[in-house]
Amino acid sequence: MNTQPRVRIDPVYVERLILDMAKHGSDGGTGVSRTVYSPEWVEATRLYARWCEEAGLTARSDAVGNVWGKLEGSEGGGSIVSGSHIDSQTPGGRYDGILGALSALIALRALKEQFGTPRRTLECIAFCEEESSRFPSANFWGSRAITGGIHPSDPENTFAFSGETIASAMREVGLDPARIPEARRDDIDTFIELHIEQGPILEHADIPVAIVTGITGIRHYTINLRGTQNHAGAFPMDLRRDPMQGFAEIALGCVDTAHRWGRPAVSTVGRVIAKPNATAVIPEEVTFSLDARHPNPDLCRKLYEVHEAHMLEIANRRNLDIDWQVMIDHPACPSDPEVISTLEEAARVQGVPTMLMASGAGHDSQQMAKIAKIAMVFVRSKDGRSHTPAEYSSIPDIVAGIEVLAAALYKLAY
């Protein structure tokens, strides 16, 4: 017989924290622009630390500006940690990232008030950066610091869209780039991240919460196809070396491959540059992007192999030169089976309907998996919207997600 008590989450407190945090970087409506190490970010991290202290947690900031709240356990062992990122897109909304940081704090506050001191240490975290919205190559800066994934040369070689280095931005807010290694942790046992879904699957299923079975592998290609520039009217079709024809066939084939494979495989061509980009000219070259993703590690590798073979075959058949660069390559990251089971049991205890699904977006959990067991909780997104001021999740759905998170933390730590 299950004797685990239910955890109570106050919806009024949840809504107040979401709306008060959204003021930092607000555009006056529902939009939020809060980039790492900006004045808005500084105020948001201070507010998060203050709320941790008010909840009875010990708050601290680490060497990259991650904010931690700690509820010390009575026994030893690795910490049980939950959280997400505090930075946003420009503009983003009120929920992406920050909801997970707030939910972890709210869950720890509820557990402390209702059940006292845990056996295992519990921590919440607001990661300093995940979105790359100020520094395009800084993705997962906070969780990479924790897992030892920042190279000593990275701070001076990571540039903002406006030109400054992330090292200079850190110094402006009182952080020393030379101390980044001090953020590394090797004492975290389990990490659970709550996040909005950012897609339509939960809404289509009419279910408020999902337990995430794994996070997609992501590979970004920049592909260059080269042919021969010529006149669009005078040069016969059968003699052309036309990179635009090759691009069209490659783009259709890659996208169609993912479509035929079915969910959760996805492939996207989002950026195309033709040279010379003129109406009556067969192009000399076409450069384009390909984003390919799958959460199953074996199928992810297979998807990349199929795409690459397809590109080479078309280039060869059309007598085109081709090369590509891999710009981003994040491996697929399955969730820990035991943590999935813990979340499923937590949902049963709390009476929250859930489903299992994979994440099609990247998350800090992929980095944390290098040092801890991980899993995620998704909360339904209205119309599947995210990375926009229009993103929205209802308070009842959010509370349901936090209940699942808190009950899982109870089972792991109490």
Q: Of 401, 51, 399, 34, nearest to 195 (Cα)?
A: 401
Residue 317 counted as domain residue: yes
Residue 364 counted as domain residue: yes
Statement to judge: residues 179 and 94 lie in one domain: yes
What's the domain count of the chain?
Answer: 2
**Residues 331 and 217 sit within 8 Å (Cβ to Cβ):** yes
> Over the stretch 31-57, which tens digit does the pLDDT of each residue have?
999 999 999 999 999 999 999 999 999
The CATH code of the domain that includes 326 is 3.30.70.360
Domain ends where: 330, 355, 370? Answer: 330
Statement to judge: residues 197 and 310 lie in one domain: no
| CA-based radius of gyration for the chain | 23
Residue 157 counted as domain residue: yes
Average confidence (pLDDT) over 176-182: 98
Statement to judge: residues 63 and 77 lie in one domain: yes
The CATH code of the domain that includes 351 is 3.40.630.10
Q: Which domain holds residue 196?
A: 11-215+332-413
Is residue 1 over pLDDT 50?
no
Statement to judge: residues 315 and 403 lie in one domain: no
Statement to judge: residues 56 and 184 lie in one domain: yes
Is residue 2 over pLDDT 70?
no
Domain ends where: 300, 330, 360? Answer: 330
Q: What is the pLDDT of residue 3?
A: 80
Q: Of 347, 83, 111, nearest to 192 (Cα)?
A: 83
**Residues 79 and 120 sit within 8 Å (Cβ to Cβ):** yes
Go through 143-178 and write b for each residue having 16 or more CB atoms within 10 A of its CB, e for each that does not: bbbbbbebeeebbeebbbeeeebbbebbeebebebe
Statement to judge: residues 164 and 91 lie in one domain: yes
Residue at token pair 């590109």: 311
Statement to judge: residues 314 and 336 lie in one domain: no
Give the mean pLDDT of the chain: 97
Statement to judge: residues 275 and 143 lie in one domain: no
Statement to judge: residues 134 and 243 lie in one domain: no
Statement to judge: residues 24 and 124 lie in one domain: yes
Residue 236 counted as domain residue: yes
> In terms of DSSP bridges, do strands 373-379 and 188-196 run parallel, antiparallel, or are they unpaired?
parallel
Lowest mean pLDDT among 1-5, 32-36, 370-374: 1-5
Is residue 163 over pLDDT 80?
yes
> Over the stretch 349-363, which tens digit does the pLDDT of each residue have?
999 999 999 999 999
**Predicted structure pTM score:** 0.92
Residue 353 counted as domain residue: yes
Residue 2 counted as domain residue: no
Domain ends where: 330, 357, 392? Answer: 330
The pair of three-digit structure tokens given for residue 351, joined into one six-digit string: 């009476």
Residue 3 counted as domain residue: no
